[in-house]
Amino acid sequence: MANKSSALPKWFLVITLIVLAVEIVSFFLIKNMYWRSGGQFATSVFCCAFGVKEWRGNRKIAIAFIALAVMSFFISLQTLWIGK
């Protein structure tokens, strides 16, 4: 029988879906640079939180998510700078 205790909690899955929805909506539908940058910043916060959460369990995944968070953060800053 599989160990169900290692599965992600439901609240984390809900937050994942909310962040993905914000990112998709901000990328495709919103033309305002502040909303777009906010969506990308929310993605970077989520990726960083997931990377920190996985740090003890799987370092490769943690490093990948922290790198993705840094890239997403710089993309959100570039979105603000390009829009001005």
Domain boundaries, given as residue ranges, for the chain? 30-84
pLDDT level of residue 41 (50, 70, 90 thresholds): confident
pTM for the model stands at: 0.68
Q: What is the pLDDT of residue 67?
A: 92
pLDDT level of residue 70 (50, 70, 90 thresholds): very high
> What is the pLDDT averaged over residues 31-51?
83
- 80 Cβ neighbours under 8 A, 6+ residues apart: 33, 34, 37
